[in-house]
Chains A and B, each alone.
Chain A
Amino acid sequence: MNRSELERQLRSEAQAMDLRCPDTPRQRVMRTLRQEADGTPVRGWWSRWRPLAATAAMLLVVVAVLQYGPEPAGEAPPVVTQAPAQPALELPSVSGDLIDRAMAEREASLEAELQRIQADLRRIKSLVKNV
């Protein structure tokens, strides 16, 4: 068999292989596209809302149990009709001198810190100049 014969044979055999695609893929594709075009959820509304519905149902059950559930066994606690009197909360008095002294100490420490930083800066500058 020469090349032209081989080519002719390949073409004729390919044409003879008349495989038909079943309708299923086309039907599925069309159904999907039409549902998308209509704005209908392809997977069905229930599958989309199911997680939210399950969460809501679970929350309802929890609330219902808390609200109407059985009371714990044993003697019921006494009903408190009046809160016991609490002693008045008293803050220690702070004199103005103490505050002034604390502020002055803080100011002094900040001043000292600033001077230290400035001294460091001067040292760095001199080092840079020497370099």
Chain B
Amino acid sequence: MTEVHQERELIDRARNGSVDAFEGLMRLHQDRLYRFLVVRGMSPSDAEDVVQEAFLSAFRYLGSYKTRWRFSTWLYTIARRIASRLPQPADPEVIPEMPDEPERHVAELQQRGALWGMARTVLSGEQFSALWLFYGEDFDVAEISRVLDRSRSWVKVNLHRARNRLAEALEDDDWGRSMSDEPIRT
């Protein structure tokens, strides 16, 4: 059974009230959602809270989920709205503190890629999110537009700007040289 079919079956069962099926859904999506929140700059403890709240909301409003969207699109939309209610870090370069589990936090930070680390410092929060959803989560423009609550044009334009900004930063960093302006996959 493919992951899509498995997911659909779990959604159907969870809609009928199966908590076990919903746990299956959570196991499928929790790591990617958590990673999305942490790479955006959220502290691991805040990310855990948002994951928890997002899944609780998802279960309660599962009846309103429309299957024309991927479940992850819907889930990320919920999570982004919950995350937007948290206080945002003033400076994207500031590493969020995690005094209770510093070793794990450092290990996670070391695992982050250098290019994404640079993207976090040179892009706005929403541009970074759009870029991550596009390349990290393989979302298309329509899905990113839904998650970020922006128009498709905004997503296309900002993906383009984000790539250019990143390329400029790489040139400054003596790493990249040039980028072509290929059309964006939609």
- A residues with a Cβ closer than 8 A to B are 1-3, 5-7, 9-14, 16-22, 24-26, 28-30, 32-34, 37
- B residues with a Cβ closer than 8 A to A are 17, 19, 22-23, 26-27, 30-31, 33-35, 38-39, 44, 47-49, 51-52, 55-56, 59, 108, 111-116, 119, 131-132, 135-137, 163, 166-167, 170, 175-182
22 contacts between A and B (CB under 8 A): A1-B175, A2-B177, A6-B163, A9-B115, A10-B119, A10-B136, A11-B135, A13-B113, A13-B116, A14-B113, A14-B132, A14-B137, A16-B113, A17-B112, A18-B35, A19-B38, A21-B34, A21-B51, A26-B26, A26-B55, A33-B22, A33-B59
> Do A1 and B176 form a contact, CB below 8 Å, given A14-B116, A20-B31, A37-B17?
yes
Q: In the complex, which residues of chain B have a beta carbon less than 8 angstroms from the beta carbon of A32? A: 56
Residue of A nearest to B50 (CB): A25
Contact between B180 and A2, CB atoms less than 8 A apart: yes
CB distance from A66 to the nearest CB of B (A): 48
Total CB contacts across the A-B interface at under 8 A:
107
CB distance from B60 to the nearest CB of A (A): 9
Q: In the complex, which residues of chain A have a beta carbon less than 8 angstroms from the beta carbon of B39? A: 17, 19
Contact between A24 and B48, CB atoms less than 8 A apart: yes
The 10 closest A-B pairs by CB, nearest first: A13-B113, A21-B34, A1-B176, A14-B136, A25-B52, A10-B135, A19-B35, A21-B30, A3-B179, A25-B51
